[in-house]
Amino acid sequence: MSEVSLPAFLAGRLRWAGSVLHTACEKMPDDRIAWHPTTEGNPGRVTGPADLPGRRVARRPFGTGTRVLLDQLLADAGIAPASLTGPEAGSHLEVAMTVASGQADTGLAVRAAATALDLGFVPVTWEEFDIVLSGDTLPAAEPLIAALRDPGVQSSVSALGGYDLSRAGSVQLLD
C-alpha cells in the first residue's frame, strides 16, 4: 500500500479555496492506541488481532476512529469484526473501565485511559489528529490555535501521557 501525504490527499478532494490543515497533536511512537490487558498484567498475552477471537473485547461504537481502526486490524488479520463478542463502550475511559471491572478481557483505547486505571498497555499504532478548515474560517479558529501553542495547555496535555505536541498549532495551506 503506497502512502499519500494527508495534505496532498485533502487538497485533491476539498473544494474550499485556501483550505488549511491544522495539527492538533500526534500520538508518540511509544504511547499508542493499544490493547488493554487486565490489572494483573497481560495473562492472556494479547498482542494483536489474532489473539482476540474467543475473548470479550470492549469496542467503541461504529463510526468512531478507534472502531474503524479495530475493524480494519481485524479484517487485515482475516477476522470478521462481527465475530467478536463484548460490550460497547462510549469512550476510551469506558473501554478501560469495562476491562478493569472484568466485563471485557481486552479493548482498544489510548494509554491515558489504561494508566488512569492501572491497566496493562500493549502498543498497537500511533495516529495524528488534524483539523481541516476553510481558509476563510481560520480567524475563528485562532483561539484554539493559540491554546494549542500555550505552554500551560501543552504541559497539562503532556501530563496525560502519550501525546507529542511538537507540531500542535501548526497551520499548513493545502492549495
Tell me the pLDDT tens digit for each residue of 145-158.
Answer: 888 889 998 898 88
Q: Which band of pLDDT confidence, cut at 50, 70 and 90, is reported for residue 110?
A: confident
Do residues 98 and 158 both lie within one domain? no
Tell me the pLDDT tens digit for each residue of 4-34.
Answer: 455 555 555 555 444 455 455 554 433 334 5
Question: How many domains are contained in the chain?
Answer: 2
Range(s) of the domain holding residue 153: 6-29+127-173
CA–CA distance, 53 with 75 (Å, rounded to integer): 12
Whole-angstrom CA distances from 142 to 26, 35, 96, 115 are: 20, 36, 34, 32
> 3-state class of 9 per DSSP?
helix
Q: Which band of pLDDT confidence, cut at 50, 70 and 90, is reported for residue 81?
A: very high
CATH assignment at residue 93: 3.40.190.10
Do residues 72 and 121 both lie within one domain? yes
Whole-angstrom CA distances from 5 to 8, 80, 90, 156 are: 5, 29, 30, 30
Q: Is the pTM of this model over 0.85?
A: no
Instruction: Residue 43: count other Cβ atoms within 10 Å of its Cβ.
Output: 10
Residue 72: inside a domain, yes or no? yes
